[in-house]
Structure 1
């Protein structure tokens, strides 16, 4: 980890990982203005899910950011609340040139970032239990039974974590893994995500969802985990080194 951070410090500082925003973006504008004043704008804004928009597209919401800071690019994974209904899901994925990282490994300024969005949904898969559905296609088809009377599948099937997505990513390599759910080092986390990070050989992981930051506790388990796990709190921002980004509204800078 030390060598990775030293060799890639400048690129990592330009990757900003955003915790759950739940439709709130003012803190992002504040942080970007502060960064611009100090000539340290990020190259990428990477949302960790629960963006939670429905009345406007993600593309439209990002217009002011892209106009004011045209060099800044956007990437994201979805969270559980991004699949509360079809309006949420469609608004998020009407995203323009923002990069949907779910199920992919993408080079962001030379750093390989993998994304796994969504949450573990009991009726789909709650490891280590046997999954009901291996992939979203099967869930949306509702197995052999179909949907009666023109009903639509539950939108929450869009936001679930599926075994096929995990196994696909497990066969790839990355430097950083972002997930919405927490890995097993969190008391509400999932060992399946810890194993995924190890399978991919990542140096560091970031997650949202839990609305807390137990990164200091995670550090005590780093040797056991095999990677550096970081949480990003509600409306917090961390760079690729795992450092809190300064310039957030009063009361947010002190979050550990």
Structure 2
């Protein structure tokens, strides 16, 4: 196996997993990392049943995965639920990969503005008393929270995978590059914005944007362009 292909990164499938399945059959990676926005109408393992067992499947969530209770359940209550990478570092095919799912939400934190809430407890405490003990809405569950983001900086990783883009993209956020630099990351892979591109952020960290339904290898080559 070509070492560049030992891990493949899959851009937002939006319900179409055929390019990813085809890439796994062709390149036979040790692992694949999915970058969010699945629009699942069935559990994730059902969509990927052709490659379950052929490769290790890892994922982060995107904003679409919090749109409805069904989409949320089909990801977070799937047989692959424990393979989420959000807010932790996992060794995958010999590399340490950190994950940051979700998006920046103005009503929670939208950099470079200051966060609206210190943490989830602060937010819930400031809700009407009859709502304090109810489950947090999916919209808020899909947000990036400042305290959790800051805690991630204490960890070390080789690769950071995010749904949101860092400042290398015109619609990205500089704080993601700052996070990557603090973690000692060498490469960032992200989805969300539906563009294949390569760029750089601070500390010469390489950024690979992976378009919807596209597949990229470890050095940023586009193996499937998503079309």
Q: Pick closer, same or farther for the CA change 1:197–1:149 going to 2, 3 Å.
A: closer
2:5 pairs with 1:19: no
2:139 aligned residue: 156
Instruction: Give the deviation of 1:207 after TM superposition.
Output: 0.5
Instruction: Give the deviation of 1:131 after TM superposition.
Output: 1.0
2:163 aligned residue: 180
Instruction: Give the deviation of 1:168 after TM superposition.
Output: 1.4
Instruction: Give the deviation of 1:145 after TM superposition.
Output: 2.4
Q: How does 1:42-53 map to 2 (within 5 A)?
A: 42-53=29-40
* Structure 2 unaligned spans of 5+: none
Q: Which has the larger radius of gyration?
A: 1
2:20 aligned residue: 28
Instruction: Give the deviation of 1:116 after TM superposition.
Output: 0.2
Contact 2:21 2:50 survives alignment (8 Å): no
TM-score (norm 2): 0.90
2:221 pairs with 1:243: yes
**CA displacement 1:151-202 (0-9 Å, x = unmatched):** 7643111110111221111011100000000001111000110100111110
Q: Pick closer, same or farther for the CA change 1:233–1:169 going to 2, 3 Å.
A: same
TM-score (norm 1): 0.80
Q: Which secondary structure state, in structure 2, belongs to the residue aligned with residue 165 of structure 1?
A: helix
Instruction: Give the deviation of 1:95 after TM superposition.
Output: 2.7
Query: Take 2:152 and 2:75, find their aligned partners in 1: how far apart are those partners?
Result: 22
1:5 aligned residue: none
Q: Pick closer, same or farther for the CA change 1:31–1:131 going to 2, 3 Å.
A: same
2:88 pairs with 1:120: no
Q: Pick closer, same or farther for the CA change 1:147–1:210 going to 2, 3 Å.
A: farther
Contact 1:58 1:94 survives alignment (8 Å): no
Query: Take 1:126 and 1:90, find their aligned partners in 2: how far apart are those partners?
Result: 26
The structure whose residues are more often helix, as a share, is 1
Q: Which secondary structure state, in structure 1, belongs to the residue aligned with residue 213 of structure 2?
A: coil
Contact 1:198 1:226 survives alignment (8 Å): no
2:42 pairs with 1:56: yes
**CA displacement 1:214-253 (0-9 Å, x = unmatched):** 31xx2xx45x4531111001110011121122xx4xxx37
Matched pairs, number? 225
Instruction: Give the deviation of 1:147 after TM superposition.
Output: 4.9
**CA displacement 1:1-60 (0-9 Å, x = unmatched):** xxxxxxxx72x5210110011111111222233x1xxxx40111110011121x311132
Q: How does 1:59-138 map to 2 (within 5 A)?
A: 59-66=45-52, 70-97=53-80, 99-138=83-122
The structure whose residues are more often strand, as a share, is 2
RMSD between superposed Cα atoms in Å? 2.3
* Structure 1 unaligned spans of 5+: 1-8
Q: Which secondary structure state, in structure 2, belongs to the residue aligned with residue 106 of structure 1?
A: strand
Query: Take 1:136 and 1:236, find their aligned partners in 2: how far apart are those partners?
Result: 34
Query: Take 1:147 and 1:88, find their aligned partners in 2: how far apart are those partners?
Result: 27
Q: Which secondary structure state, in structure 2, belongs to the residue aligned with residue 63 of structure 1?
A: coil
Instruction: Give the deviation of 1:211 after TM superposition.
Output: 0.8
